[in-house]
């Protein structure tokens, strides 16, 4: 099965990527390639650079790429603005979704969906057509219509914020979704809802990167590959059983890999 995947062109290629913020190196040569249909999990201790990697792929302005390349669908995107990356199909699910007071969730979702549709040369949706679309997508994450009239993420519980992220992913239909600790702060039921939402949205053409600390999300969504990060590098890559082993042995076990390197 893997060999057939590799015949396709990769969606995302991270090549020997180093990056820093305020002259402090965070990433120290990360390489990662995601093909259509693949699910990758990235695990590692807090501060190992996994969230930073996701932000840099999405174009966060606080980080400087000091070496290496990020390619999306074969094109170098190192210097693209975050909105250009998003419009072309890169989605970042935030670990801590940001509250935007006064901006209605519905309007935000519509403007954002239309920005993506415009890029895809699809017709932009007016308020009424968008309502139809969003209703259908709300089902996926079992969200109440009332969420739409509230300000973006404002006063949302942790679980509601995460479901709102998956709702955005459903609307934007990205080529690649990087989900940064989407499972953190979720109870079992919410985790199931989120996981089933992700599974429904992803397909053979999309790639997914799950950044997580825990096995429980990977029980719901089985990854093709598991990468372990430490100190700004991927120190080990394996298949889904690597996550199980990690769960059992803890991150201390991975410290040995660095020595092996």
- Stated as kind and residue range, the H or E segment containing 211 is strand 207-211
Residues in binding contact with other proteins, number by CB under 8 A? 30
Which of 3, 61, 146, 204: binder of other proteins (CB under 8 A)? 61
Residue 126 binds to other proteins (criterion: CB under 8 A): no
Which of 23, 46, 62, 261: binder of other proteins (CB under 8 A)? 62
Of 201, 203, 158, nearest in space to 182 by CA: 158
Residue 151 binds to other proteins (criterion: CB under 8 A): yes
Alpha helices in 42-182 (DSSP H): 50-58, 82-88, 105-119, 127-140, 158-172
One character per residue 79-98, x = contact with other proteins (rule: CB under 8 A): --xxx-xxx----x-x--xx
247-250-251 Cα angle (round to 5): 120
Alpha helices in 59-104 (DSSP H): 82-88
Q: Which of residues 169-198 bind other proteins (CB under 8 A)?
A: 172
CB 150 within 8 A of CB 102: no
Q: Which CB atom, from 165 or from 226, has the smaller least distance to other proteins?
A: 165
In angstroms, rounded to a whole number, what is the distance separating the alpha carbons of residues 111 and 83? Answer: 12
Residue 228 binds to other proteins (criterion: CB under 8 A): no
- Stated as kind and residue range, the H or E segment containing 39 is strand 39-44
Q: Which stretch binds other proteins (CB under 8 A): 30-38, 99-107, 183-191, 207-215?
A: 99-107
Which chain residues interact with other proteins by CB under 8 A?
Answer: 58-62, 81-83, 85-87, 92, 94, 97-98, 100-104, 107-108, 111-112, 115-116, 119, 151, 168, 172
């Amino acid at each position: 099965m893997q060999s057939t995947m590799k015949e396709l062109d990769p969606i995302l290629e991270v090549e020997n990527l180093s990056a820093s913020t305020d002259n402090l190196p965070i990433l120290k040569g990360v390489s990662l390639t995601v093909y259509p249909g693949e699910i990758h999990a990235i695990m590692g201790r807090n501060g190992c650079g996994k969230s930073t990697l996701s932000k840099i792929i999405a174009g966060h302005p606080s980080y400087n790429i000091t070496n290496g390349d990020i390619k999306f669908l074969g094109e170098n995107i190192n210097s693209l603005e975050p909105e250009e990356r998003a419009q072309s199909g890169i989605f970042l699910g935030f670990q801590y979704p940001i509250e935007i007071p006064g901006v209605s969730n519905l309007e935000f979702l519509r403007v954002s969906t239309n920005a993506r549709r415009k890029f895809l040369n699809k017709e932009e949706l007016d308020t009424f057509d968008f309502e139809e679309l969003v209703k259908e997508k709300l089902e996926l994450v079992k969200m109440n219509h009332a969420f739409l009239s509230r300000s973006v993420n404002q006063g949302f519980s942790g679980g509601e914020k995460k479901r709102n992220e998956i709702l955005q992913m459903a609307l934007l239909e990205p080529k690649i979704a990087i989900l940064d600790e989407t499972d953190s702060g979720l109870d079992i039921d919410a985790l199931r809802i989120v996981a089933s939402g992700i599974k429904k949205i992803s397909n053979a053409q999309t790639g997914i990167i799950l950044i997580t600390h825990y096995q429980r999300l990977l029980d719901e969504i089985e990854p093709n590959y598991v990468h372990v990060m430490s100190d700004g590098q991927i120190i080990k890559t394996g298949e889904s059983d690597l996550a199980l082993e990690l769960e059992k042995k803890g991150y201390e076990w991975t410290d040995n890999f660095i020595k092996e390197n």
